[in-house]
Amino acid sequence: MGKYFGTDGVRGPVGERPMTVNFAVRLASAAGRVMVPEGGSVVVGKDPRISGYMFESALEAGFVAAGVNVKLLQVMPTPGIAYLTRVLGADLGVVISASHNLYMDNGIKFFDRKGSKLSDEDQSRIEELVDEQPITRESKKLGRAERRYDAVDRYMTFCKQSVSESMSLSGMRIVIDGSNGATYKIAPKVFSDLGADIVTIGCSPNGTNINDGFGSTSPQALQSTVTALGADLGIAFDGDGDRLSLVDSKGQLIDGDQIVYALAMARKQKGELKGPVVGTIMSNLGLEQAMQREGIEFLRANVGDRHVLSTLAEKGGVIGGETSGHIITLDKTSTGDGIIAALQMLEAIVDSGKTVEQLVSGMARLPQKMINVRMESRVDISDNKIINKAVLATEAELGDRGRVVLRPSGTEPVVRVMVEGNSESEVLQHAEALAEVVAKAT
């Protein structure tokens, strides 16, 4: 993590640095100078949280003053902004969203002209300038701003083109949970256009209810709705639409590791799987074991979908993702996309004639427990001797039966303590003990 950039852009409580109007203007000025050539352009989109409109105006001012042309896309899922950055020929894509966080937070993240997350080097170059005063060019060199009203239709067409033209979801009842976020209008329309009978929940954003009791981080409402209606499948997106969770017909939750497994197997059966499958250090050991049984190379990247993406690109892979539901299908799009990942799963269901339960049945998830230990601020635990000693002791006791991962969050002031193993009770015991050590040692 950098001075301001975390795992995925800049994020924090609205009204506290860095999520202030003044900082947003400075960030736009810096990013414009670093990433956009003279006469170039950026696209800016947002989720529906109330502060997004304020930050949109601040970013617009900072970019225009720096001589950058701005295309405003209104409410749009993060992956849609990545796509439109490419097809509109922009030099930079900007997303105003705090993803799965509640409305009190917001964030700003970027895509390069290829629709990929910025490199660490690019982020560092922006951070070098962000504390300087924003520049204002003379009138003839100012940028221009315009609103693009065709953005939603172009992105929906792109999503539907990611599956076979002949694929039909006719006869399937699907419950869509839009998390009262950026997918609230687009996702139901995409799946309905493909023939599905759609029921929606969490698709009535009011600026303050994003991720509140709905979405991929709160799937309980989706689970109960799927079982109550006898639906075939439930799909929950997070606030900005770059990740998802699925719920099968019995109301059981299907996470990102299981989705990665199912997509990898579908690609393998079609002869379309290239390179390794990529997860993260937090991916369930059961996914790695399942890939090994199938003779598929499995690699672990650092947490963050941009690290998964860079590893896939470097190693020539096409399928990867995180347990949280950031799923990347590089043969379909340039970044993690919840709608496209869901469409790929539905295509696998239609092609195979199997239920989603059957598609993921070949992967056995090992018991895994993660505890978030809240801190007053972000901390570096790598050199803490007390914590390191406790981790080594736990790893020695687990042996080859499990794993331990301690990781400061890149999006909030918590340390994530994860223990994985064969025994649920043993995993819980070790996770609680380590969490207590971390809490006392920091």
Which element (helix H / strand E) includes 278?
Answer: strand 277-280
pLDDT band at 7 (very low <50, low <70, confident <90, very high): confident
pLDDT at residue 383, as a whole number = 82
pLDDT at residue 400, as a whole number = 81
How many residues are listed for the chain in this entry? 442
Q: Is the predicted pLDDT of residue 441 greater than 90, yes or no?
A: no
Q: What is the tens place of the pLDDT at every residue in 50-79?
A: 999 999 999 999 999 999 999 999 899 999
Give me the CATH code for the 10-151 domain, please.
3.40.120.10
pLDDT at residue 303, as a whole number = 87
Q: Is the predicted pLDDT of residue 240 greater than 70, yes or no?
A: yes
C-alpha to C-alpha distance for 391 and 385, rounded to whole angstroms: 10
**Would you call 139 a catalytic residue per the annotation?**
no
When computed from its CA atoms, the radius of gyration of the chain, rounded to whole angstroms, is 22
Q: Is the predicted pLDDT of residue 378 greater than 70, yes or no?
A: no
In sequence order, the 6+-apart residues with CB closer than 8 A to the CB of 36 are 42, 63, 66, 68, 91, 92
Q: Is the predicted pLDDT of residue 396 greater than 80, yes or no?
A: yes
* Residue-averaged pLDDT of the chain: 95
Backbone torsion region of residue 265, taken as left when φ is above 0, otherwise alpha when ψ lies between -120 and 50, otherwise beta: alpha
Residue percentage of the chain with pLDDT more than 70 = 99
Q: What is the tens place of the pLDDT at every residue in 318-361?
A: 999 999 999 999 999 999 999 999 999 999 999 999 999 999 99
Q: Is the predicted pLDDT of residue 415 greater than 70, yes or no?
A: yes
Q: How far is CA 8 from CA 83, 120, 146, 241, 341, in A?
A: 17, 11, 27, 14, 19
Backbone torsion region of residue 309, taken as left when φ is above 0, otherwise alpha when ψ lies between -120 and 50, otherwise beta: alpha
Secondary structure class of 264 (helix, strand, coil): helix
What does the pLDDT average to over 161-189? 97
* CATH 3.40.120.10 domain locations along the chain: 10-151, 172-253, 255-360
Give me the CATH code for the 172-253 domain, please.
3.40.120.10
User: Which of 51, 99, 324, 334 does the annotation list as catalytic?
Assistant: 99
Q: How far is CA 390 from CA 221, 251, 438, in A?
A: 38, 38, 9
pLDDT at residue 8, as a whole number = 82
| Cβ–Cβ < 8 Å for 204, 214 | no
In sequence order, the 6+-apart residues with CB closer than 8 A to the CB of 360 are 254, 258, 259, 261, 262
* CATH 3.30.310.50 domain locations along the chain: 368-441
Q: Is the predicted pLDDT of residue 1 greater than 80, yes or no?
A: no
Q: At what angle do helices 338-352 and 151-160 cross, to 10 degrees?
A: 30
Residue 31 backbone dihedrals phi, psi, to 5 degrees: -65, -35
Query: What is the homologous superfamily of the domain 368-441 according to CATH?
Result: Alpha-D-phosphohexomutase, C-terminal domain (3.30.310.50)
Q: Model's pTM, two decimal places?
A: 0.90
What does the pLDDT average to over 37-47? 97
- Distance between terminal CA atoms of the chain? 19
Q: What is the tens place of the pLDDT at every residue in 89-138?
A: 999 999 999 999 999 999 999 999 999 889 889 999 999 999 999 999 99
pLDDT at residue 376, as a whole number = 76
> Smallest Cα–Cα separation from 116: which of 417, 347, 277, 334?
334
- Could you please state the CATH topology (level 3) that the domain comprising 255-360 is classified under: Alpha-D-Glucose-1,6-Bisphosphate; Chain A, domain 3 (3.40.120)
